[in-house]
Structure 1
């Protein structure tokens, strides 16, 4: 039985999921499964593998700041907005439409937003030469990033077509 059992199950009372992202709704855990229609929408609108790869690229980029490298594209005011990334844009638009009624969606949004907030903190500290504080913010970014990737992978495992696609031989261009 998977850890994310009921995280993607809609609440039976129709209420929004609690803001405490660390607790599981309900008690027992079972396998994460999305309904076929919803899974089809997710698969058609979004490449989860690409989202994971894109999100994982943030950490080395942010880590370069700890080495004293500067990148004009890393501006704290821009990075603080979780919509600045492709994943964030999807989460706030099509992702919310397709998956917003699942409790784990709010958890994914929360962890993604936190990642961007901490990335902005890291940038501000690095620009101010406060490297000890920048390193602490980087550690918080790493932790939040791992949670975002874990949630995305669990979501992907729950998509019925994901297992079928993984089993098919890949075409060579």
Structure 2
């Protein structure tokens, strides 16, 4: 029973999870379970591998900002909005509809939001010349990004595990 697999269990009462993202659910649940049709539909509408690759591109961009590069597309007020990315749009839209009842979904959503907040802080500090604070924000971005990627991979693993092979294909 893996750490992340315990996080993807829905609450028995169907309500949203507690706002403290760091708490584990109080169950002995072992894995994310979606019905085959739900898993197939989710896999068809959102490419998790592409979302991971796209999300991982942020860190080199932010590293360049830390080194003094300026990019007009990386404005703090835009970057701070966690809905500005493809992953954020999915998390706030169809992802929430499909997976919002799983405790780990809210953790994923909050980690993604925190990543964007720290990325905006990094840009703001770098533009102000406060390199020490920018470096600190960059470390927070790296940590949050690793958590987002791990949660996405665990989600993907759970979805793939629930899909049954179709005979004759």
Shorter-chain TM-score above 0.5: yes
CA distance in 1 between partners of 2:140 and 2:81 (Å): 17
Residues in 2 aligned to 1:149 and 1:94: alpha-carbon distance in whole angstroms = 19
Contact kept, 8 Å, 2:9 with 2:102, in 1: the verdict is yes
Q: Is the 8 A contact 2:16 2:100 kept in 1?
A: no
Q: 1:106 to 1:153 in 2, by over 3 A?
A: same
Aligned residue number for residue 147 of structure 1: 147
What are the residue-to-residue correspondences of 1:1-173 with 2, within 5 Å? 1-28=1-28, 30-160=30-160
User: What is the CA–CA distance in structure 1 between the aligned matches of 2:14 and 2:32, rounded to whole Å?
Assistant: 19
- Separation of aligned partners in 1, 2:54 and 2:163: 22
Tell me, which stretches of 5 or more residues in structure 2 are unaligned?
none
RMSD (Å) for aligned C-alpha atoms: 1.8
Q: CA–CA distance in 2 between the matches of 1:38 and 1:162?
A: 9
Matched-pair contact (CA < 8 Å) for 2:15–2:101? no
Does structure 1 conserve the Cα–Cα contact (< 8 Å) formed by 2:39 and 2:162?
Answer: no
Q: Distance in 2 between matches of 1:83 and 1:23?
A: 24
Residues 54-76 of structure 1: per-residue CA shift (max 9 Å, x gap): 00000000010111111111000
- Specify every segment of 5 or more residues in structure 1 that has no aligned partner in the other structure, as ranges: 166-173
Cα offset, 1:104, TM superposition:
0.9
The Cα of 1:88 is off from its aligned counterpart by 0.3
User: Cα distance, 1:34 vs. partner?
Assistant: 2.7
Q: After TM superposition, give the deviation of residue 29 of structure 1 in Å.
A: 5.0
Q: Give the number of equivalent residue pairs.
A: 165
Aligned 8 A contact 1:33 1:160 in 2: no
